[in-house]
Amino acid sequence: MTVMQSLRPADIIAPDHDWWRGAVIYQIYPRSFQDSNGDGIGDLAGIIARLDHVAALGADAIWISPFFRSPMLDFGYDVSDYCDVDPIFGTLADFDALIARAHELGVKVLIDLVISHSSNQHVWFQESQHSRTNPKADWYVWADAKPDGSPPNNWLSIFGGPAWEWSGDRMQYYLHNFLKEQPDLNLHNADVQDALLDVARFWLERGVDGFRLDTINFYFHDRLLRDNPALPPEARNTTIAPEVNPYNWQDHLYDKNQPENLAFLQRLRGLMNGYPGATAVGEVGDAQRGMEIQAEYTSGGDKVHMCYSFEFLSGTTPDATKVAEVLTAYEGTIGDGWACWAFSNHDVVRHASRWNLDEAASRLYAGLLMSLRGSICIYQGEELGLTEAYVAYEDLQDPYGIRFWPKFKGRDGCRTPMPWSSDNQNGGFSDGRPWLPIAVEHLPRAVAAQAGQDGSMLDFYRRMIAFRHAWAPLVKGALSEIATTGDVLHFIRAHEGVRLFCAFNMGDAPAQVTLPAGNWRQDRGAPFAPATEMGGQYLLEPYQAVFAMAERAT
């Protein structure tokens, strides 16, 4: 018997079912990634054609925003059929081909499940609203009007106005936390839970590696429909201007964050455990208690694997002190749970613009992101250094922006198409007219313009992701000794006896940082210029980072 014949398969390849811990996840907004058929809308075939870019970047996985059948009033986040692909994106066969190609490249695939609500065109809702006695009458959140005909309580929609819409068919209101065309499912009903778990099973059987769970803390509502209390003005979140939408004037105790959600998340995790390596990342949308919910939902190993909240998705530029406060709070809260960090996504102004970052600062923040304890999400175009695009009112597509223009311009500015080449006005995205215009200022930052350029932003991201992968402490290690020295944030990442000192000068002036006690050797593999060593200290130029390994005593 040869040596190879004596080995078990597990001895040759030992799959890492915890691959998601510390993974770099690349978010794809399919409408804007790559159009393959000239209709101006990105599609699944386009994603397949561009997966080499994701693999070359070094991402471990992609997260694809919704591509299910939908009337597209909220661009796929209003699902009318959970188990089919909308024709504008392709077919189920295209999706199967995408899975095969991604896995061939070593890239996992997560898809965006939107199960807190559906489209009002879903057959479930069509039946539910027909009468109060049909088999799906209780599949959505219905309630009688108050005696004066007004809505059942004071709950508000994130997209503006009351969270209740009147149905003349049932002579009742239904709940919608988002658009009125996005009625909330009633997960208090066990049949609804079973149907949603069947949806998850359908995609797991097709080979997906997991899910991004949209608005995970919105799944359940208070059965008694109690009014939310008011928040004092100083406690309000001002991400959205209060004169535009007073949603954040309330303390959302009853329209989300309900304790019944834990049991459902355990059911979902139980299903996913049957598919080794499958993972789920939840979006926690809450301005007051996001950290606590994130810890609760990811604790114990029996709910979701990881969650992200909005600490670094706000408009306030996080300086060294703020980052240290957030990381310290997380380390004191997360316990055995797991965080997922992001600076940008499809719902917020791109962070290069939101925080007014120049090239050097953008690299520093990217280096910081890649050094955090947790998993990492990168939004398409972030690796090119894209800024928020200006979209004229007549070109707007986002209903959120159209309603509240000009005080709030919506989300189209971060959703404009990816620039792949700089030699035509559509940036290589489409042969037709793009659904949103390509930003002219994005063309010089196109993938083709940066791909072979040493020192480009794309080159920096590739090297920084590779550096993260090369250091086990950055992927799965503990985080400790979080501190600031002026504008310098520093901490230690450690894993299985290997310690890495990480320091980031987040200011625009040179600064010094003192190394912890011990023997440290600067690692020059990171894509930052080497720091000047000064006898137990490093001198950091503005927006410079340094990484040093603790040398073991001999």
Give catalytic residues, as residue numbers: 214, 283
CA-nearest of 502, 435, 545 to 33 is: 435
Contact by Cβ (8 Å): 351, 316: no
Residues 6+ apart with CB under 8 A from 156: 162, 163, 245, 246, 247, 250
User: In which region does residue 265 sit, left (phi positive, over 0), alpha (psi from -120 to 50) or beta (all else)?
Assistant: alpha
CA-nearest of 85, 105, 100, 103 to 44 is: 85
Q: How many residues does the chain have?
A: 554
Contact by Cβ (8 Å): 397, 75: yes
Contact by Cβ (8 Å): 193, 267: yes
Give me the phi and psi of 168, to 5 degrees please.
-70, -25
Residue 130 identity (one-letter amino acid): H
Q: Containing H/E element for 50? A: helix 44-57
Rounded Cα distance between 31 and 50, Å, is 14
Rounded Cα distance between 372 and 379, Å, is 17
Q: Parallel, antiparallel, or unpaired: how do β-strands 81-85 and 172-175 relate?
A: unpaired
Give me the phi and psi of 324, to 5 degrees please.
-60, -40
| 3-state DSSP assignment of residue 300 | helix
Rounded Cα distance between 377 and 27, Å, is 7
Query: Is omega for the bond preceding 162 within 30 degrees of 0, making it cis?
Result: no
Give me the phi and psi of 473, to 5 degrees please.
-60, -35
CA-nearest of 210, 291, 232, 299 to 257 is: 291
